[in-house]
Amino acid sequence: MSLSKKLTAEFIGTFWLVFGGCGSAIISAGYPELGIGFLGVALAFGLTLLTMAYAIGHISGCHINPAVSIGLWSANKFETKELIPYIIAQLLGGIAGAGLLYLIATGKAGFEVGNFASNGYGDLSPNKYGMVPALVTEMVLTFMFLFIILGSTSPKAPAGFAPIAIGLGLTLIHLISIPVTNTSVNPARSTATAIFAHTPALSQLWLFWVAPIVGAIVAGLLWRWLGSAEEE
């Protein structure tokens, strides 16, 4: 598969993740009569990933997340030469998704942009969690996310079920951490929404790059050893 096709797939996938997941929070969750709450938002993020895993997994691997690409690279399951191009495509796709969402949402009279589904800690945390809990939460949950990805895509795992496990894993991650950080585990998703937020979200963006990347790298390095059992 050519790199241009892989990057196009990553752009579309990250666009869908941000537009669908954050869109459910910004547009639908604001209507109590729909009753989706943060359970619905968590499901929306899981569903965007699940649908894209089936749609583009065979093209690009459906990383749609810089931390995932870096984690797979640290596990020796992704080529170094494709790492930066993937991250750029993911960032551009996420920003495009957030930009279109901003255009739609601000077309409603009286709409207040606010945090625009961005991530944060302290005053920007949904339940006012501090920096350390936010850092630990994002690091641990990204570690587990990569662990799910690496395990479910293993050659010895049941074939065809990886997207379901990964999508449900992301749903569970959101159920745990929406109150803490509004859930990132994805630097592209965090960057895209921070750009359009009418809050100081950009000043806290560093955490939503550092924590997911560290968690992903640790998971990848551990999988090098644990996954070697596949060869025994």
Cα 23 off chain centre by? 14
* pLDDT at residue 228, as a whole number: 63
* φ/ψ (deg, to 5) at 25: -75, -40
3-state secondary structure of 110: coil
Please give the backbone phi and psi of residue 161, each rounded to the nearest 5 degrees, phi first: -105, -5
Distance CA(51)–CA(154), nearest Å, equals 20
Distance of CA 62 to the CA centre of its chain: 11
Q: How confident is the model at residue 158 (pLDDT cuts 50, 70, 90)?
A: confident
pLDDT (mean) for 207-222: 98
Reduced 3-state DSSP string for 117-138? CCCCCHHHCCCCCCHHHHHHHH
Average pLDDT over residues 40-54: 96
Which tens digit of pLDDT belongs to each residue from 79-135? 999 999 999 999 999 999 999 999 999 998 888 899 999 999 999 999 999 999 999
Residue among 122, 141, 133, 130 nearest 183 (CA): 141
Q: How far apart are CA 26 and CA 24, in angstroms?
A: 6
Q: Which domains does the chain have, with CATH numbers?
A: 3-225 (1.20.1080.10)
Distance of alpha carbon 171 from alpha carbon 176, whole angstroms: 9
pTM: 0.95
CA–CA separation, 123 and 29 (whole Å)? 21
Q: How far apart are CA 27 and CA 22, in angstroms?
A: 8
Q: What is the mean pLDDT of residues 10-16?
A: 98
pLDDT at 189 over 80: yes
Tokens of 15: 């666009």
The span from the CA of 73 to the CA of 67, in Å, is 10
* SS3 call for 202: helix
